[in-house]
């Protein structure tokens, strides 16, 4: 078997769907997980109609909130393809609105998905990556993880957790030759905005938006180059620098955008 073996969570839409196609197009074999079986079937059809040669795909209906389901997904991926090389911890949900007024179920869903979900897939995958003798974990964080984000505080805090985890895990796993790459993603045109939890639904139409394919292609490149951190666009890097130099101003801008 040639090509890497890549496990992607949240592969039924958006960045995860595009990444699965991009890896398969590059000749890698993909184990794609998500909750929506019908969407995974569409993904499998899309992969199988790619121009040859392309990688194979294994679709697995699983919820990242379920640690046992993630362990089973990893087991099936290794059983099918013989090893595991790359894990893309992509599954996540957004939230807009006041933290104090947020519905309890929304808070629960966001934390269980964005925090527990990332932990579950990484903890399930690391033994398989160690067995391979190398590998890479790619976490999907956000530019918002470093910013004061009033009315997007839950989401930003969950992504700050992801980025902090990536920085520490990179050192923990260095002796196992497992790289950890953290993506700080800016606004992307996907279903994510429409599916966002919370009462605040403003989408920030004036913010420049990139495509899911652009992010997916960068993820494939990162699997080749294994950088520590990736920020794709100049505007997102400027936002990060702006927060370092003028955090109060960036917070006021975010408050107007997210409220």
Provide the annotated active-site residues. 155
Q: Is 53 helix (H, G, I), strand (E, B) or coil?
A: coil
Closest CA to 156 of 230, 236, 92: 92
The string of DSSP letters for 73-109 reads: HHHHHHHHHS---EEEE-----B-S-TTT--HHHHHH
The CA distance from 142 to 246, in Å, is 19
Contacts of 239 (CB under 8 A, 6+ apart): 143, 147, 186, 250
Residue 199: strand, helix, or coil: coil
Q: What is the spatial distance between Cα 235 and Cα 207, in angstroms, rounded to a whole number?
A: 10
Alpha-helix residue ranges (DSSP H) falling in the chain = 14-25, 37-48, 67-81, 104-111, 117-132, 153-172, 212-225, 234-245, 247-258
Closest CA to 157 of 167, 146, 166, 169: 146
């Amino acid at each position: 078997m040639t090509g890497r073996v890549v496990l992607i969570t949240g592969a039924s839409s958006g960045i995860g769907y595009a990444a699965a196609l991009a890896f398969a197009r590059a000749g890698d074999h993909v184990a794609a997980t998500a909750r929506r079986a019908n969407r995974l079937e569409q993904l499998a059809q899309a992969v199988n109609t790619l121009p040859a040669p392309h990688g194979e795909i294994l679709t697995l209906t699983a919820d990242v909130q379920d640690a046992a389901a993630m362990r089973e997904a990893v087991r099936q991926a290794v059983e099918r393809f013989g090893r595991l090389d790359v894990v893309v911890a992509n599954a996540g949900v957004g939230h807009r609105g006041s933290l104090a007024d947020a519905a309890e179920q929304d808070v629960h869903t966001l934390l269980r998905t964005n925090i527990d979900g990332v932990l579950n897939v990484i903890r399930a995958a690391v033994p398989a990556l160690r067995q391979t003798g190398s590998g890479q974990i790619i976490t999907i964080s956000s530019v918002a993880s470093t910013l004061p984000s009033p009315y997007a505080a839950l989401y930003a805090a969950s992504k700050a957790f992801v980025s902090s985890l990536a920085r520490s895990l990179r050192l923990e796993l260095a002796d196992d030759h497992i790289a950890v790459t953290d993506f700080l993603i800016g606004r992307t045109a996907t279903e994510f905005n429409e599916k966002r939890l919370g009462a605040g639904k403003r989408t920030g139409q004036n913010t420049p938006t990139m495509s899911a394919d652009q992010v997916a292609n960068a993820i494939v490149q990162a699997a080749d180059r294994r950088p520590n951190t990736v920020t794709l666009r100049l505007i997102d890097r400027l936002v990060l620098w702006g927060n370092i130099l003028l955090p109060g101003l960036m917070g006021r801008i975010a408050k107007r955008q997210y409220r």
